[in-house]
Amino acid sequence: MITVGIFGATGYAGYELLRILARHPQATLGFASSETYAGQRYSDVYPCAFDDTLVAPGDAPLDGVDVVFLCTPHAASAPFAVRALEAGCKCVDLSADFRLRDLATYETWYGAHAAPQLLDEAVYGLTEIYRQEVAGARLVANPGCYPTGPLLALYPFLRQGLLTSPRVIIDAKSGVSGAGAKPSPTTHFVAVNENLSAYNVGRKHRHVPEIDQELSRFGGGQDVQVVFVPHLLPVTRGILSSIYVSLDPGWDQEALLDLWGETYADSPFVRVRPAGSLPTLAHVAGTNYCFLGLAPTGIDGDWVIVTALDNLVKGASGQAVQNMNVMCGWDETAGLLP
Amino acid sequence: MITVGIFGATGYAGYELLRILARHPQATLGFASSETYAGQRYSDVYPCAFDDTLVAPGDAPLDGVDVVFLCTPHAASAPFAVRALEAGCKCVDLSADFRLRDLATYETWYGAHAAPQLLDEAVYGLTEIYRQEVAGARLVANPGCYPTGPLLALYPFLRQGLLTSPRVIIDAKSGVSGAGAKPSPTTHFVAVNENLSAYNVGRKHRHVPEIDQELSRFGGGQDVQVVFVPHLLPVTRGILSSIYVSLDPGWDQEALLDLWGETYADSPFVRVRPAGSLPTLAHVAGTNYCFLGLAPTGIDGDWVIVTALDNLVKGASGQAVQNMNVMCGWDETAGLLP
Amino acid sequence: MITVGIFGATGYAGYELLRILARHPQATLGFASSETYAGQRYSDVYPCAFDDTLVAPGDAPLDGVDVVFLCTPHAASAPFAVRALEAGCKCVDLSADFRLRDLATYETWYGAHAAPQLLDEAVYGLTEIYRQEVAGARLVANPGCYPTGPLLALYPFLRQGLLTSPRVIIDAKSGVSGAGAKPSPTTHFVAVNENLSAYNVGRKHRHVPEIDQELSRFGGGQDVQVVFVPHLLPVTRGILSSIYVSLDPGWDQEALLDLWGETYADSPFVRVRPAGSLPTLAHVAGTNYCFLGLAPTGIDGDWVIVTALDNLVKGASGQAVQNMNVMCGWDETAGLLP
Amino acid sequence: MITVGIFGATGYAGYELLRILARHPQATLGFASSETYAGQRYSDVYPCAFDDTLVAPGDAPLDGVDVVFLCTPHAASAPFAVRALEAGCKCVDLSADFRLRDLATYETWYGAHAAPQLLDEAVYGLTEIYRQEVAGARLVANPGCYPTGPLLALYPFLRQGLLTSPRVIIDAKSGVSGAGAKPSPTTHFVAVNENLSAYNVGRKHRHVPEIDQELSRFGGGQDVQVVFVPHLLPVTRGILSSIYVSLDPGWDQEALLDLWGETYADSPFVRVRPAGSLPTLAHVAGTNYCFLGLAPTGIDGDWVIVTALDNLVKGASGQAVQNMNVMCGWDETAGLLP
Domain limits, chain C: 2-121, 146-311
Whether the CB of B286 is below 8 Å from some CB of chain A: the reply is: no
The single-letter code of the amino acid at B53 is T
Closest CB to A283 among C47, C282, C286: C47
Q: D204-250 pLDDT, tens per residue?
A: 999 999 999 999 999 998 999 999 999 999 999 999 999 999 999 99
How big is the B-D interface in CB pairs under 8 Å?
43
pLDDT more than 70, % of chain B: 100
Interface residue of A182, A190, A199, A233 to substitute, partner B, most B CBs within 10 Å:
A190
Whole-angstrom Cα distance, residue B86 to residue B83?
Answer: 5
Interface residue of A18, A20, A48 to substitute, partner C, most C CBs within 10 Å:
A48
Task: Judge: C23–A337 Cβ closer than 8 Å, yes or no.
Answer: yes
Task: Judge: D194–A285 Cβ closer than 8 Å, yes or no.
Answer: yes
> Do B235 and C195 contact (CB within 8 A), yes or no?
yes
Closest CA in chain C for residue B169: C244
Interface residue of B15, B16, B43, B267 to substitute, partner D, most D CBs within 10 Å:
B43
Whole-angstrom Cα distance, residue B153 to residue B143?
Answer: 15
Task: Judge: A280–D244 Cβ closer than 8 Å, yes or no.
Answer: no
What one-character DSSP code corresponds to residue A330? S
Dump the DSSP string for B222-260: ---EEEEEEEE-SSSS-EEEEEEEEB-TT--HHHHHHHH
CB-CB neighbours of D41 under 10 Å: 14
Collect all residues of chain A within an 8 Å Cβ-Cβ radius of residue D297: 169, 201-203, 227, 229
pLDDT for res B337? 86
Which ranges of chain B have pLDDT less than 70?
Answer: none
Whether the CB of D276 is below 8 Å from some CB of chain B: the reply is: no
How distant, in Å, are the alpha carbons of A65, A196, A333, D5 from that of A1?
Answer: 11, 45, 16, 74
Whole-angstrom Cα distance, residue D83 to residue D63?
Answer: 11
pLDDT for res D165? 96
Whether the CB of C187 is below 8 Å from some CB of chain A: the reply is: no
The helix, strand and coil proportions of chain B, stated in percent and rounded to the nearest 5, come to 35, 25, 45
Whole-angstrom Cα distance, residue B112 to residue B107?
Answer: 5
- Tell me how close the Cα of B237 comes to any Cα of chain A, in angstroms: 9
Contacts of C235 (CB under 8 A, 6+ apart): B193, B194, B195, B196, B234, C175, C176, C281, D193
pLDDT more than 90, % of chain A: 97
Task: Judge: A302–D227 Cβ closer than 8 Å, yes or no.
Answer: yes
Q: Which helix (H) or strand (E) holds A112?
A: none
Whole-angstrom Cα distance, residue D301 to residue D253?
Answer: 10
Collect all residues of chain D within an 8 Å Cβ-Cβ radius of residue B306: none
Whether the CB of B275 is below 8 Å from some CB of chain A: the reply is: no
Task: Judge: C189–D176 Cβ closer than 8 Å, yes or no.
Answer: yes
Closest CB to B227 among C225, C235, C298: C298
How distant, in Å, are the alpha carbons of A231, B10, B14, D282 from that of B43?
Answer: 20, 10, 13, 11
Q: C2-121: which CATH topology?
A: Rossmann fold (3.40.50)
pLDDT for res A338? 75
Partners of residue A239 on adjacent β-strands: A174, A309
Collect all residues of chain A within an 8 Å Cβ-Cβ radius of residue B187: 183, 188-190
Which ranges of chain C have pLDDT less than 70?
Answer: none
Exposure on the CB side of residue D203, measured as CA atoms within 13 A: 16
Neighbour subunits, D (≥3 Cβ pairs < 8 A): A, B, C
Strands (E), A146-195: 167-174
Whole-angstrom Cα distance, residue D161 to residue D144?
Answer: 25
Q: What's chain D's length in residues?
A: 338
Please enumerate, as own/partner, the contacts of C296-301 that have beta carbons within 8 Å and a separation of 24 or more. Answer: C296/B202, C296/C253, C297/B169, C297/B201, C297/B202, C297/B203, C297/B227, C297/B229, C297/C244, C298/B202, C298/B203, C298/B225, C298/B226, C298/B227, C299/B167, C299/B225, C299/B227, C300/C249, C301/C164, C301/C246, C301/C247, C301/C248, C301/C249
Q: B140-198 pLDDT, tens per residue?
A: 999 999 999 999 999 999 999 999 999 999 999 999 999 999 999 999 999 999 999 99
Neighbour subunits, B (≥3 Cβ pairs < 8 A): A, C, D
Task: Judge: B194–C280 Cβ closer than 8 Å, yes or no.
Answer: no
> Do D311 and D178 contact (CB within 8 A), yes or no?
yes
CB-CB neighbours of A243 under 10 Å: 20
Collect all residues of chain D within an 8 Å Cβ-Cβ radius of residue B269: none
- Does residue D259 surpass a pLDDT of 90? yes
> What's the mean per-residue pLDDT of chain B?
97
Whole-angstrom Cα distance, residue A119 to residue C285?
Answer: 39
Task: Judge: C271–A23 Cβ closer than 8 Å, yes or no.
Answer: no
Please enumerate, as own/partner, the contacts of B52-60 that have beta carbons within 8 Å and a separation of 24 or more. Answer: B52/B18, B54/B9, B54/B10, B55/B31, B57/B7, B57/B33, B59/B33, B60/B5, B60/B7, B60/B31, B60/B33
CB-CB neighbours of C331 under 10 Å: 14
Whether the CB of A74 is below 8 Å from some CB of chain C: the reply is: no
Strand, coil or helix: C167: strand
- Does residue A202 surpass a pLDDT of 90? no
How distant, in Å, are the alpha carbons of C54, C91, C239, C256 from that of C318?
Answer: 21, 15, 14, 27
Task: Judge: B189–A185 Cβ closer than 8 Å, yes or no.
Answer: no
Collect all residues of chain A within an 8 Å Cβ-Cβ radius of residue B190: 12, 176-177, 181, 187, 236
Q: Per the residue annotation, which of D71, D145, D290, D328 is the catalytic one? A: D145
Task: Judge: C338–A50 Cβ closer than 8 Å, yes or no.
Answer: yes
Whole-angstrom Cα distance, residue B219 to residue D323?
Answer: 54
Whole-angstrom Cα distance, residue B90 to residue C215?
Answer: 58
Closest CB to B280 among C196, C235, C280: C196
Collect all residues of chain A within an 8 Å Cβ-Cβ radius of residue D306: 198
Whether the CB of A2 is below 8 Å from some CB of chain D: the reply is: no
pLDDT for res A337? 86
Whole-angstrom Cα distance, residue C90 to residue C330?
Answer: 14
Closest CA in chain A for residue C17: A338
Q: Per the residue annotation, which of B48, B145, B290, B328 is the catalytic one? A: B145
Contacts of C111 (CB under 8 A, 6+ apart): C75
Q: C146-311: which CATH topology?
A: Dihydrodipicolinate Reductase; domain 2 (3.30.360)
Closest CA in chain D for residue A246: D167
The single-letter code of the amino acid at B240 is L
Whether the CB of D114 is below 8 Å from some CB of chain A: the reply is: no
Collect all residues of chain C within an 8 Å Cβ-Cβ radius of residue A284: 49
pLDDT for res D202? 84
Task: Judge: B338–D286 Cβ closer than 8 Å, yes or no.
Answer: no
How big is the B-C interface in CB pairs under 8 Å?
144
Whether the CB of B186 is below 8 Å from some CB of chain C: the reply is: no
**D 12-71 residues with CB < 8 A to B:** 18-19, 22-23, 43-44, 47-50
- Tell me how close the Cα of A188 comes to any Cα of chain D, in angstroms: 13
Whole-angstrom Cα distance, residue C244 to residue A325?
Answer: 49
Closest CB to D242 among A198, A237, A282: A198
Q: A144-192 pLDDT, tens per residue?
A: 999 999 999 999 999 999 999 999 999 999 999 999 999 999 999 999 9
Whether the CB of D176 is below 8 Å from some CB of chain A: the reply is: no
- Does residue D338 surpass a pLDDT of 90? no
Closest CB to C196 among B225, B238, B244: B238
Dihedral sign (CA B39, B45, B46, B50): positive
Task: Judge: C304–B244 Cβ closer than 8 Å, yes or no.
Answer: no
How distant, in Å, are the alpha carbons of A24, A71, A130, A164, A334 from that of A323?
Answer: 13, 15, 10, 33, 11
Q: Is this prediction's pTM over 0.90? A: yes
Task: Judge: B338–D282 Cβ closer than 8 Å, yes or no.
Answer: no
Confidence of residue A221 (pLDDT cuts 50, 70, 90): confident
pLDDT for res B338? 75
- Tell me how close the Cα of A311 comes to any Cα of chain B, in angstroms: 13
For the question of residue A290 being annotated catalytic, the response is: no
Task: Judge: A176–B185 Cβ closer than 8 Å, yes or no.
Answer: no
Task: Judge: A236–B190 Cβ closer than 8 Å, yes or no.
Answer: yes
